[in-house]
Amino acid sequence: MSLQIKYLGLQPYESIWEAMQRFTDERSDSTPDELWVVEHPPVFTQGLNGQAKHLQAFALQQNIPIIQTDRGGQVTYHGPGQIIIYALLDLKRAQLGVRDLVHRMENAIIEFLRSLGISAQARPDAPGVYVEGQKIASLGLKIRKQKSYHGLALNLDMDLTPFSWITPCGLEGIQMTQVSHFIQQPDLHTSQTALVKALCHQLQPEISP
């Protein structure tokens, strides 16, 4: 089954979230899997287990929407300069478990960062990817009837300030970082394409791009 890649540009979070839900509800057993590559305007999103204490008072005073969503995990921030890839996959058809999918997504980010000369690791106790103890990428998924949506967010070259107004992913004391701290002026489109390639590589042979 082919894997379709869609580069959607800068899109409001809520419209993409609704489109993912609609795609998942309407897909059939023969619907091709898709990866949606997007950026979002500034937005905080709370996962299903999100706790209000992880949103500091200063965050509530900003002109940034706070959206309660249906993915796993706690609160995070999305903004321009962040690579977001949503994975709309039929896990049953691909014979992928959720943990395996998370592991492969983390490995794709690590593979991409390695190609830039950045050494990164995953943590068994906290999904995501870390460089020198700082978090560079977050993961959050929703599984409905063995179909996945939501996905990964990699900090490329963005304003990290809003992360300081929350407890990112519920991790007390965690510092956020981004690719531009290690690579001067990384190109968004080139980086999106390379990360998609790495993700497709990790998903093979279950899914062929």
Question: In this structure, what CATH number is given to the domain that contains residue 48?
Answer: 3.30.930.10
Q: Where are the beta strands (DSSP E) in 23-166?
A: 33-39, 43-46, 66-68, 76-78, 82-90, 121-123, 126-131, 134-144, 147-155
Q: Is 117 annotated as a binding residue?
A: no
Q: What is the pTM of this model?
A: 0.92
Q: Is residue 120 situated within a structural domain?
A: yes
Q: Is 97 annotated as a binding residue?
A: no
* Sign of the dihedral defined by the CA atoms of residues 109, 128, 8, 76, in that order: negative
Q: Is residue 209 situated within a structural domain?
A: no
Q: List the end-to-end C-alpha distance of the chain, in Å, as a whole number.
A: 8
Active site residues: 169
- CB contact set of 3 (below 8 Å; sequence gap of 6+): 32, 33, 34, 35, 200, 203, 207, 208, 209
Rounded-to-integer distance, Cα 24 and Cα 90, Å: 9
Q: Is 140 annotated as a binding residue?
A: yes
89 lies in which domain range? 3-203
Q: Is residue 151 situated within a structural domain?
A: yes
Q: What is the pLDDT of residue 16?
A: 98
Rounded-to-integer distance, Cα 170 and Cα 53, Å: 9
Q: Which has more pLDDT, 173 or 148?
A: 148
Q: Is 24 annotated as a binding residue?
A: no
When pLDDT is cut at 50, 70 and 90, the band that residue 62 belongs to is: confident
When pLDDT is cut at 50, 70 and 90, the band that residue 88 belongs to is: very high
Q: What angle do CA 138, 42, 69 make, to 5 degrees?
A: 60
Q: Is residue 208 situated within a structural domain?
A: no
Tokens of 42: 């500034």
Structural domain count of the chain: 1
Q: What is the pLDDT of residue 73?
A: 80
Average pLDDT, the chain: 90
